[in-house]
Structure 1
Amino acid sequence: MTNPVSVVPGALKAVYALSQSVQATGVPGPVLELVHLRASQINGCGFCVDYGVKSAKKSGETDERLHGVAAWREMPYFTDAERAALALSESMTRLADRADAVPGDVWEAAAKHYDEQELAALVLWIATTNFYNRVNATTRQQAGSQTW
Protein backbone atom coordinates (compact mmCIF):
# COMPACT_ATOMS: atom_id res chain seq x y z
CA MET A 1 0.00 0.00 0.00
CA THR A 2 0.94 3.61 -0.22
CA ASN A 3 2.86 4.69 2.85
CA PRO A 4 0.29 5.56 5.55
CA VAL A 5 1.98 8.87 6.39
CA SER A 6 1.13 10.08 2.92
CA VAL A 7 -2.45 8.78 3.11
CA VAL A 8 -3.55 10.23 6.46
CA PRO A 9 -3.95 14.02 6.18
CA GLY A 10 -1.37 15.86 8.29
CA ALA A 11 0.56 12.75 9.36
CA LEU A 12 3.70 13.44 7.35
CA LYS A 13 3.75 17.06 8.45
CA ALA A 14 3.43 16.04 12.12
CA VAL A 15 6.20 13.43 11.99
CA TYR A 16 8.44 15.81 10.04
CA ALA A 17 7.86 18.55 12.64
CA LEU A 18 8.90 16.17 15.42
CA SER A 19 12.04 15.23 13.48
CA GLN A 20 12.94 18.90 12.96
CA SER A 21 12.46 19.61 16.67
CA VAL A 22 14.81 16.79 17.60
CA GLN A 23 17.43 17.88 15.07
CA ALA A 24 17.41 21.40 16.53
CA THR A 25 18.46 20.25 20.03
CA GLY A 26 22.17 20.04 19.43
CA VAL A 27 22.58 16.28 19.33
CA PRO A 28 25.26 15.77 16.70
CA GLY A 29 23.87 14.72 13.33
CA PRO A 30 26.14 11.68 13.09
CA VAL A 31 24.77 10.37 16.38
CA LEU A 32 21.19 10.67 15.11
CA GLU A 33 22.19 8.90 11.89
CA LEU A 34 23.88 6.05 13.78
CA VAL A 35 21.04 5.37 16.22
CA HIS A 36 18.53 5.48 13.37
CA LEU A 37 20.54 2.94 11.42
CA ARG A 38 20.99 0.63 14.41
CA ALA A 39 17.30 0.57 15.32
CA SER A 40 16.39 0.01 11.67
CA GLN A 41 18.83 -2.91 11.45
CA ILE A 42 17.36 -4.52 14.56
CA ASN A 43 13.81 -4.11 13.24
CA GLY A 44 14.73 -5.43 9.79
CA CYS A 45 13.34 -2.39 8.02
CA GLY A 46 15.06 -2.51 4.64
CA PHE A 47 13.58 0.81 3.58
CA CYS A 48 14.92 2.58 6.68
CA VAL A 49 18.34 0.90 6.54
CA ASP A 50 18.71 1.94 2.90
CA TYR A 51 17.46 5.46 3.57
CA GLY A 52 19.59 5.76 6.71
CA VAL A 53 22.80 4.71 4.99
CA LYS A 54 22.18 7.09 2.09
CA SER A 55 21.36 9.96 4.44
CA ALA A 56 24.45 9.30 6.56
CA LYS A 57 26.67 9.13 3.46
CA LYS A 58 25.30 12.48 2.26
CA SER A 59 26.25 13.89 5.67
CA GLY A 60 29.81 12.64 5.26
CA GLU A 61 29.67 9.40 7.23
CA THR A 62 32.35 6.84 6.35
CA ASP A 63 31.80 3.35 5.00
CA GLU A 64 33.78 1.86 7.90
CA ARG A 65 31.49 3.39 10.50
CA LEU A 66 28.32 2.54 8.60
CA HIS A 67 29.40 -1.08 8.16
CA GLY A 68 30.48 -1.14 11.80
CA VAL A 69 27.13 -0.13 13.24
CA ALA A 70 25.85 -3.71 13.20
CA ALA A 71 28.77 -4.76 15.42
CA TRP A 72 29.52 -1.45 17.11
CA ARG A 73 30.72 -3.01 20.37
CA GLU A 74 33.62 -4.70 18.57
CA MET A 75 34.50 -1.82 16.26
CA PRO A 76 37.05 0.92 17.05
CA TYR A 77 35.26 3.60 15.05
CA PHE A 78 32.90 5.06 17.65
CA THR A 79 33.30 7.53 20.50
CA ASP A 80 32.09 6.75 24.01
CA ALA A 81 29.17 9.15 23.46
CA GLU A 82 28.20 7.38 20.24
CA ARG A 83 28.46 4.00 21.96
CA ALA A 84 26.17 5.22 24.74
CA ALA A 85 23.63 6.40 22.16
CA LEU A 86 23.85 3.11 20.24
CA ALA A 87 23.29 1.13 23.45
CA LEU A 88 20.25 3.30 24.23
CA SER A 89 18.94 2.72 20.72
CA GLU A 90 19.28 -1.03 21.10
CA SER A 91 17.58 -1.08 24.49
CA MET A 92 14.70 1.13 23.39
CA THR A 93 14.21 -0.96 20.26
CA ARG A 94 14.30 -4.29 22.10
CA LEU A 95 11.96 -3.39 24.94
CA ALA A 96 10.66 -6.93 25.42
CA ASP A 97 14.10 -8.56 25.66
CA ARG A 98 14.50 -7.89 29.38
CA ALA A 99 12.47 -7.00 32.44
CA ASP A 100 14.11 -3.59 32.69
CA ALA A 101 13.46 -2.11 29.24
CA VAL A 102 16.40 0.28 29.47
CA PRO A 103 18.87 -0.95 32.10
CA GLY A 104 20.21 1.63 34.52
CA ASP A 105 23.77 1.34 33.27
CA VAL A 106 22.65 2.05 29.70
CA TRP A 107 20.67 5.10 30.82
CA GLU A 108 23.50 6.36 33.04
CA ALA A 109 26.04 6.03 30.22
CA ALA A 110 23.82 8.07 27.92
CA ALA A 111 23.16 10.67 30.63
CA LYS A 112 26.92 11.00 31.14
CA HIS A 113 27.34 12.21 27.56
CA TYR A 114 24.09 14.06 26.85
CA ASP A 115 22.28 16.72 28.86
CA GLU A 116 18.57 16.39 29.60
CA GLN A 117 17.39 18.06 26.39
CA GLU A 118 19.77 16.00 24.26
CA LEU A 119 18.78 12.81 26.04
CA ALA A 120 15.11 13.66 25.51
CA ALA A 121 15.89 14.27 21.84
CA LEU A 122 17.60 10.89 21.55
CA VAL A 123 14.61 9.15 23.15
CA LEU A 124 12.22 10.88 20.75
CA TRP A 125 14.48 10.20 17.74
CA ILE A 126 14.81 6.50 18.55
CA ALA A 127 11.07 6.23 19.19
CA THR A 128 10.38 7.98 15.88
CA THR A 129 12.75 5.63 14.09
CA ASN A 130 10.90 2.67 15.58
CA PHE A 131 7.65 4.26 14.38
CA TYR A 132 9.02 4.56 10.85
CA ASN A 133 10.38 1.01 10.97
CA ARG A 134 7.02 -0.42 11.95
CA VAL A 135 5.07 1.57 9.38
CA ASN A 136 7.47 0.80 6.55
CA ALA A 137 7.97 -2.89 7.37
CA THR A 138 4.25 -3.46 7.91
CA THR A 139 3.32 -1.90 4.58
CA ARG A 140 6.31 -3.46 2.82
CA GLN A 141 7.86 -0.26 1.60
CA GLN A 142 10.70 -1.15 -0.75
CA ALA A 143 14.26 -0.06 -0.14
CA GLY A 144 15.23 2.62 -2.61
CA SER A 145 11.69 3.93 -3.02
CA GLN A 146 10.39 6.98 -1.26
CA THR A 147 6.62 7.05 -1.18
CA TRP A 148 6.11 9.94 1.19
Structure 2
Amino acid sequence: MTDTNSIGLHEASASQLAERLNVLLANYQIFYMNVRGYHWNVKGHDFFQLHTKFEEFYTDLLMKVDEVAERILTLGHRPVHAYSDYFRIASIEEDKDVHDGEACVRGVLRGYQQLIELQREILSLASDADDEGTAAQVGDYIREQEKTVWMLNAYLG
Protein backbone atom coordinates (compact mmCIF):
# COMPACT_ATOMS: atom_id res chain seq x y z
CA MET A 1 0.00 0.00 0.00
CA THR A 2 1.37 3.40 -0.95
CA ASP A 3 0.96 6.65 0.90
CA THR A 4 0.83 8.72 -2.28
CA ASN A 5 -2.21 9.93 -4.18
CA SER A 6 -2.94 9.55 -7.90
CA ILE A 7 -0.62 12.43 -8.86
CA GLY A 8 2.27 11.13 -6.75
CA LEU A 9 2.03 13.45 -3.75
CA HIS A 10 2.18 12.12 -0.22
CA GLU A 11 -1.40 11.85 0.99
CA ALA A 12 -0.72 13.68 4.25
CA SER A 13 0.69 16.64 2.32
CA ALA A 14 -2.15 16.56 -0.20
CA SER A 15 -4.67 16.51 2.62
CA GLN A 16 -3.05 19.48 4.34
CA LEU A 17 -2.91 21.40 1.06
CA ALA A 18 -6.55 20.59 0.27
CA GLU A 19 -7.58 21.88 3.70
CA ARG A 20 -5.77 25.20 3.17
CA LEU A 21 -7.07 25.42 -0.41
CA ASN A 22 -10.60 25.01 0.95
CA VAL A 23 -9.93 27.97 3.21
CA LEU A 24 -8.68 29.86 0.15
CA LEU A 25 -11.80 28.83 -1.76
CA ALA A 26 -14.02 30.13 1.03
CA ASN A 27 -12.18 33.44 1.04
CA TYR A 28 -12.43 33.74 -2.73
CA GLN A 29 -16.19 33.11 -2.61
CA ILE A 30 -16.88 35.73 0.03
CA PHE A 31 -14.53 38.23 -1.61
CA TYR A 32 -16.21 37.57 -4.97
CA MET A 33 -19.62 38.47 -3.48
CA ASN A 34 -18.16 41.58 -1.83
CA VAL A 35 -16.75 42.79 -5.14
CA ARG A 36 -20.02 41.94 -6.87
CA GLY A 37 -21.77 44.11 -4.30
CA TYR A 38 -19.33 46.98 -4.90
CA HIS A 39 -20.04 46.69 -8.63
CA TRP A 40 -23.79 46.84 -8.09
CA ASN A 41 -23.85 49.55 -5.43
CA VAL A 42 -20.95 51.94 -6.06
CA LYS A 43 -21.88 55.61 -6.29
CA GLY A 44 -19.94 58.79 -6.85
CA HIS A 45 -18.00 60.70 -9.43
CA ASP A 46 -15.88 57.63 -10.35
CA PHE A 47 -18.93 55.42 -10.85
CA PHE A 48 -18.26 54.52 -14.50
CA GLN A 49 -14.59 53.75 -13.94
CA LEU A 50 -15.16 51.73 -10.75
CA HIS A 51 -18.26 49.91 -11.98
CA THR A 52 -16.27 48.60 -14.95
CA LYS A 53 -13.17 47.80 -12.88
CA PHE A 54 -15.16 45.89 -10.25
CA GLU A 55 -16.72 43.78 -13.01
CA GLU A 56 -13.21 42.96 -14.26
CA PHE A 57 -12.20 41.95 -10.73
CA TYR A 58 -15.22 39.77 -9.97
CA THR A 59 -15.00 38.02 -13.35
CA ASP A 60 -11.39 37.08 -12.56
CA LEU A 61 -12.28 36.03 -9.02
CA LEU A 62 -15.03 33.73 -10.29
CA MET A 63 -12.54 32.03 -12.62
CA LYS A 64 -10.14 31.53 -9.71
CA VAL A 65 -12.93 30.04 -7.56
CA ASP A 66 -13.34 27.33 -10.17
CA GLU A 67 -9.59 26.78 -10.54
CA VAL A 68 -9.06 26.44 -6.79
CA ALA A 69 -11.94 23.96 -6.49
CA GLU A 70 -10.53 21.92 -9.38
CA ARG A 71 -7.09 21.88 -7.77
CA ILE A 72 -8.62 20.48 -4.58
CA LEU A 73 -10.23 17.75 -6.67
CA THR A 74 -6.91 17.10 -8.44
CA LEU A 75 -5.33 16.53 -5.03
CA GLY A 76 -7.99 13.86 -4.42
CA HIS A 77 -10.19 15.85 -2.03
CA ARG A 78 -13.53 17.61 -2.06
CA PRO A 79 -14.04 21.36 -2.28
CA VAL A 80 -16.40 22.90 0.24
CA HIS A 81 -19.43 24.36 -1.46
CA ALA A 82 -21.84 25.69 1.16
CA TYR A 83 -21.84 29.31 2.22
CA SER A 84 -22.27 28.22 5.84
CA ASP A 85 -18.88 26.49 5.52
CA TYR A 86 -17.37 29.53 3.80
CA PHE A 87 -18.43 31.83 6.64
CA ARG A 88 -17.08 29.38 9.21
CA ILE A 89 -13.57 29.02 7.72
CA ALA A 90 -12.89 32.28 5.85
CA SER A 91 -11.01 35.26 7.23
CA ILE A 92 -12.51 37.70 4.71
CA GLU A 93 -15.80 38.97 6.06
CA GLU A 94 -18.91 40.13 4.28
CA ASP A 95 -18.84 43.81 3.40
CA LYS A 96 -22.47 44.94 3.40
CA ASP A 97 -24.09 48.15 2.20
CA VAL A 98 -20.90 49.74 0.89
CA HIS A 99 -21.48 52.23 -1.90
CA ASP A 100 -18.89 54.99 -1.50
CA GLY A 101 -16.30 54.53 -4.26
CA GLU A 102 -13.25 54.95 -2.05
CA ALA A 103 -14.66 52.60 0.59
CA CYS A 104 -15.31 50.01 -2.12
CA VAL A 105 -11.73 50.31 -3.41
CA ARG A 106 -10.43 49.94 0.16
CA GLY A 107 -12.55 46.79 0.52
CA VAL A 108 -11.06 45.36 -2.67
CA LEU A 109 -7.57 46.23 -1.48
CA ARG A 110 -8.12 44.51 1.90
CA GLY A 111 -9.50 41.43 0.20
CA TYR A 112 -6.54 41.06 -2.14
CA GLN A 113 -4.11 41.59 0.74
CA GLN A 114 -5.77 38.80 2.72
CA LEU A 115 -5.73 36.47 -0.29
CA ILE A 116 -2.04 37.15 -0.91
CA GLU A 117 -1.17 36.36 2.70
CA LEU A 118 -3.05 33.05 2.60
CA GLN A 119 -1.64 32.15 -0.83
CA ARG A 120 1.91 32.72 0.42
CA GLU A 121 1.23 30.21 3.19
CA ILE A 122 -0.11 27.73 0.64
CA LEU A 123 2.87 28.37 -1.65
CA SER A 124 5.22 27.45 1.19
CA LEU A 125 3.26 24.27 1.97
CA ALA A 126 3.16 23.32 -1.70
CA SER A 127 6.90 23.87 -2.08
CA ASP A 128 7.58 21.70 0.97
CA ALA A 129 5.36 18.97 -0.52
CA ASP A 130 7.00 19.17 -3.99
CA ASP A 131 3.57 20.11 -5.34
CA GLU A 132 4.56 22.14 -8.38
CA GLY A 133 0.95 22.33 -9.63
CA THR A 134 -0.38 24.09 -6.55
CA ALA A 135 2.79 26.20 -6.19
CA ALA A 136 2.56 27.42 -9.79
CA GLN A 137 -1.14 28.19 -9.49
CA VAL A 138 -0.91 30.24 -6.29
CA GLY A 139 2.38 31.79 -7.41
CA ASP A 140 0.64 33.13 -10.51
CA TYR A 141 -2.21 34.45 -8.37
CA ILE A 142 0.21 36.20 -6.02
CA ARG A 143 2.08 37.85 -8.90
CA GLU A 144 -1.15 39.16 -10.46
CA GLN A 145 -2.63 40.31 -7.18
CA GLU A 146 0.51 42.08 -5.97
CA LYS A 147 0.32 44.24 -9.09
CA THR A 148 -3.36 44.88 -8.42
CA VAL A 149 -2.56 45.92 -4.83
CA TRP A 150 0.04 48.38 -6.15
CA MET A 151 -2.50 49.81 -8.61
CA LEU A 152 -5.24 50.11 -5.99
CA ASN A 153 -2.84 51.90 -3.65
CA ALA A 154 -1.88 54.23 -6.50
CA TYR A 155 -5.56 54.94 -7.15
CA LEU A 156 -6.12 55.78 -3.49
CA GLY A 157 -3.09 58.08 -3.53
TM-score (ref. length: structure 2):
0.32
Structure of higher RCO (CA pairs closer than 8 Å, 6+ residues apart) = 1
Q: Determine which structure has more spread, i.e. the larger CA radius of gyration.
A: 2
TM-score (ref. length: structure 1):
0.34
